[in-house]
Chain A
């Protein structure tokens, strides 16, 4: 799925919902799995740049989540996908022995909460230069949402990134 990465940008950006931060801090030993982009906002790029499509553009994801949370949109595609993914993962982690059955219940309870603020977006700003290159894995073209480069970091630690809430 992933291949080693050639030259990397100095900073990576990733948008994640608050619930994911909670889950990874409290149930995954504060180790964070992030899907990132070298650009925060593809809309601001020159037209000849390989811009990420909205589904993997941190600014577009941020706007979508922010708007869906503000509207308490029960039909939000983004929130529905994140919720299904988190609940599925909770079960898999438990079957792997990484978390307990009580942990799984708590994660599901959070994901099922009626409180939309759990889905509010957070922007992770990740100074890539502080990370060993082999921890930043380039996503294979077949797994990307578009033509732009994307990366995955499977073991990001909390001191290695900053979290921003922004007005867009």
Chain B
């Protein structure tokens, strides 16, 4: 090969270096934590995700409200009530804010199955609130199974005609399925937005940071599965595949992150995974516990 002509590979290498350098320069500037407004909407659900958020540690709720965000609205925690509370919610529209939303959106009877407030004499349905707040937010993070895909609120026969947050919004929604959403998943996603912008998402809008690997592929009991050693009842230390474990179809990091200051998680508690962080929970993950699944198949 002649060395007189310019090797395209060599020139590309030079380009890449300068590209990388500018990127790093920018990222260093980006890595400073600048507080943003945070609105937390509780919609048609159990409000368990705000409770889960309070269970967070490093960062915890205090760090969230003092260092990460100006937390302006949440039904469970704010001091203002009635019209005064609704004023705060309505006045944030037009400003820059991140919207966190838990709970599905009840749509039956134009949304009157879930009224989150009353403003200027009119009831404000969950449906109306999410449309008003959702379209104008800089980022929308739907957390919990109900917000991401309907979850338990939309379980058959779905009496309130609940739907996911995405299905009523015409914009990208970052999805954090889980029942509830682990505080780390939300706070980590929020931190990424604040520090570096929107995190890398998979084809279903879940941050790869948390939702990249199946529970099955990082399960401490995988060697039992591979050898075909299956538990017959709860409380045993072997693989719970035959009891109905949904670890093989659930993409989330519970097996390594664990829960509540990382002390435990369902499988280590000798119960199978019920697939709460996978789309399809709960209807498509049931039955959760089965005792009569066939074990060995005689050839």
- Are A and B a genuine interacting pair, yes or no? no
A interface vs B, CB < 8 Å? Answer: none
